């Protein structure tokens, strides 16, 4: 029940926070079949929250183990179907703990559950697909060793943001078709073929700028103000198969209105949560978290005051803020 509450609450708050969240080619999972969802990783916890609210069924997440260090947070994360996964940076002696994690994940898939992993094994704001870890193939091998193993499938998700650190951003999730996975222990050659095949699929589902032309292409896309969460538009512009889009004029008036309207929450954010951000990829997560906390506390306090006018005023302020984000965005 707690998972369902958090899911629906996040669905509402993400709708208010983002200008647009687009879901492309999503299909319900095959009935009774375990599905391993794999996604590229750009925007820390927001990737998890957005994907969880856009997939119909409950989903389990393999999450970096260091966020489980606090006992209270660990209990909360476990309630939200999060499972710790250890990385080299957590210490080589910790990596052995992953064997039990892979077996647990294989059992969930055997039971027909859905599991989400980020095979890049870290997050980055770069507009490219990075090297994919072979860790997910260890899950497949663990599943293959189960007696009377049931067939499972994979679904790749391309995560695409325009300006991932900003309030009112727009993003898209591009889903692959379901891919039947082999029920056998993979050889080294088969593992490499699967990793390379998934890498190629990811490059069709997400914005991938090649290293040799990365800086030039990114600067060009920013110059023409193309929506970088719209893959078709981006590729048409880069391939010169369409005219340069007429970017919105982000006038000083528009920027001024946005800054004035959100001056209180954003000023408080800079004085509080912003100081906790030690990685650029966490900027969006902390900004979103503070926004949810700020408006939730305001509504609770206004309700405690039993003042109808204060409650109506706050509601109008929040609604008009959402309208600003949706209809008069600073982004293309």
- Please determine, for residue 221, whether its predicted confidence score (pLDDT) is greater than 80: yes
Give Dmax over CA atoms of the chain in angstroms. Answer: 68
* Residue-level pLDDT at 93: 80
Task: Express each pLDDT in 151-198 by its tens digit.
Answer: 899 999 999 999 999 999 999 999 999 999 988 999 999 999 999 999
What does the pLDDT average to over 122-149? 91
* Residue-level pLDDT at 186: 94
Rg, Å, the chain Cα set: 21
Burial class (CB in 10 A: 0-12, 13-18, 19+), 57: exposed
Nearest to 160 by CA among 43, 12, 34: 43
The beta-strand segments (E) located in the chain are 20-24, 34-39, 60-64, 82-85, 114-117, 152-161, 170-175, 179-180
Nearest to 206 by CA among 223, 227, 224, 228: 228
| φ, ψ dihedrals at 246, nearest 5° | -80, 95
Structural domains of the chain ordered from first start: 2-208 (3.40.1130.10), 210-247 (no CATH), 252-327 (no CATH)
* Residue-level pLDDT at 95: 84
- Please determine, for residue 53, whether its predicted confidence score (pLDDT) is greater than 80: yes
- Please determine, for residue 101, whether its predicted confidence score (pLDDT) is greater than 90: yes
Distance (Å, rounded) from C-alpha 52 to C-alpha 8? 10
* Residue-level pLDDT at 269: 96
pTM above 0.75, yes or no: yes
Residues with Cβ within 8 Å of 95's Cβ and at least 6 positions away in sequence, in order, are 86, 87, 88
Indicate the range of 76-90, 109-123, 264-278 predicted with least confidence. 76-90
Task: Express each pLDDT in 237-292 by its tens digit.
Answer: 998 866 665 655 557 788 889 989 999 999 999 999 999 999 999 999 999 999 99
* Residue-level pLDDT at 247: 53
- Strands 114-117 and 152-161, by their bridges, are unpaired
DSSP structure class, residue 30: P
Task: Express each pLDDT in 320-331 by its tens digit.
Answer: 999 999 988 888
Indicate the range of 66-70, 126-130, 246-250, 258-262 predicted with least confidence. 246-250
Say how far residue 9 (Cα) sits from the centre of its chain: 16
Q: What's the mean per-residue pLDDT of the chain?
A: 92
* Residue-level pLDDT at 67: 77
- Please determine, for residue 115, whether its predicted confidence score (pLDDT) is greater than 70: yes
* Residue-level pLDDT at 6: 94
Distance (Å, rounded) from C-alpha 195 to C-alpha 156? 12
Burial class (CB in 10 A: 0-12, 13-18, 19+), 291: buried
Distance (Å, rounded) from C-alpha 120 to C-alpha 40? 6
DSSP structure class, residue 182: P
- DSSP per-residue string spanning 61-92: EEEEGGGG-SHHHHHHHHHTTEEEE--GGG-H
Indicate the range of 59-73, 180-194, 297-311 predicted with least confidence. 59-73
What does the pLDDT average to over 218-235? 94
Distance (Å, rounded) from C-alpha 56 to C-alpha 51? 10
* Residue-level pLDDT at 237: 93
- Please determine, for residue 86, whether its predicted confidence score (pLDDT) is greater than 90: no
Distance (Å, rounded) from C-alpha 156 to C-alpha 301? 43
* Residue-level pLDDT at 188: 95
Indicate the range of 77-81, 136-140, 175-179, 262-266 predicted with least confidence. 77-81
């Amino acid at each position: 029940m707690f998972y369902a509450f958090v899911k629906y609450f996040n669905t509402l708050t993400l709708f208010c926070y983002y200008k647009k969240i687009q879901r492309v080619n999503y299909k319900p999972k095959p009935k009774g079949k375990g599905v391993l969802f794999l996604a590229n990783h750009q925007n820390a916890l927001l990737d998890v929250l957005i994907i969880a609210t856009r997939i119909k069924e409950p989903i389990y997440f393999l999450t970096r183990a260091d966020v489980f260090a606090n006992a209270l947070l660990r209990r909360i994360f476990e309630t939200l179907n999060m499972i710790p996964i250890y990385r080299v940076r957590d210490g080589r002696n910790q990596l052995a703990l992953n064997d039990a994690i892979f077996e647990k994940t294989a059992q969930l898939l055997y039971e027909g559950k859905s599991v989400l992993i980020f095979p890049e094994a870290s997050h980055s704001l770069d507009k490219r697909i990075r090297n994919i870890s072979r860790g997910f193939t260890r899950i497949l091998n663990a599943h293959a060793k189960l007696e009377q193993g049931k067939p499972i499938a994979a679904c790749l998700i391309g995560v695409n943001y325009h300006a991932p650190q900003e309030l009112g951003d727009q993003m898209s999730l591009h889903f692959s078709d379901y891919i039947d996975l082999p029920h056998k222990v993979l050889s080294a050659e088969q593992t490499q073929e699967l990793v390379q095949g998934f890498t190629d699929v990811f490059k069709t589902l997400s914005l991938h700028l090649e290293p040799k032309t990365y800086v030039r292409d990114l600067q060009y896309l920013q110059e023409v103000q193309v929506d970088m969460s719209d893959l078709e538009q981006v590729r048409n512009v880069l391939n010169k198969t369409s005219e340069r889009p007429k970017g919105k004029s982000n006038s000083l008036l528009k920027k001024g209105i946005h800054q004035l309207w959100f001056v209180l929450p954003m000023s408080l954010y800079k004085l509080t949560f912003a100081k906790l951000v030690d990685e650029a990829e966490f900027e969006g997560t902390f900004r979103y978290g503070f926004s949810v906390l700020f408006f939730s506390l305001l509504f609770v306090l206004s309700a405690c005051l039993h003042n109808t006018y204060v409650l109506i005023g706050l509601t109008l302020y929040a609604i008009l803020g959402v309208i600003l984000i949706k209809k008069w965005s600073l982004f293309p």
